[in-house]
Amino acid sequence: MKILILDTEMSGSSKEDRIISIATGEFDSGKLTNIKSGLFNPKVPIKQGAFWVHKISNEKVANKPTFKSTEFYPYLNKILSNPENIVVGHAICNDLFMIAREGIQCKCRLIDTQHCSVVILKKTKTSLNFLAKECNLLDENKEPKFHTAEGDMTVTYHLLNELLKYHDLRKLVDISMEEYYDISISIDRKRKQKVHLIAEKEKLLPYFRTVKDPKLFFALMYFSGNSKIV
């Protein structure tokens, strides 16, 4: 079993937007190992609003490879397609929503450090910047660059270790996954049914064409056995 922590930065949030930066690290006995990071050419313009957040310009990625042509693609595909693995991130369904646009679907269980911070730490503000300061997670001399993939991935790692003071990994997975087991869809005009209880998985496929909510998308992706949903 692998436990992968990841964070992404995107060209924007519209349907045509793609990943421009990603950072990953494997969590092993409380340590962050096998750290990888990269910049990619999304082949679409980076929107101004996204640039204001992560400061990655079109010029900065112009000569970079596409995501699919790098080592990240087979690496992530192998890890995320294995149901035995766990993927960790802050509002992780947003990252997985964008990764799925590249053709990689996640069958892993999740630990969402944002959701766990609400449930376990009782925090109403859940930005990584706020939680890092509120929980005293960082060395003042080694403060990461927030809103970068590697910086946010590193803070997520520290936040995971903080959450592990309260519960073990299994419980963090249970807390994170419980909201996806509660997600329902309308299967006809009169009835709703929880996604995970729909036995005929082909009924889920039409929803992938129109779904915009990352949480619903993950529930459909995780509970569907279909391998070509995007």
Domains in the chain and their CATH numbers? 3-177 (3.30.420.10), 182-230 (no CATH)
Give the separation between CA 16 and CA 158, rounded to whole angstroms.
33
Query: Under DSSP, is residue 73 helix (H, G, I), strand (E, B) or coil?
Result: helix
**Would you state the pLDDT for residue 144?**
65
Q: Which residues have CB under 8 Å from 124's CB, separation 6+?
A: 118
- CA 29, 121, 37, 76 torsion: positive or negative? positive
Report, as ranges of residue numbers, the positions in the chain whose pLDDT lies below 50.
Answer: 141, 227, 229-230
Q: Model pTM?
A: 0.91
Give the separation between CA 96 and CA 4, rounded to whole angstroms.
12
**Would you state the pLDDT for residue 230?**
47
**Would you state the pLDDT for residue 28?**
95
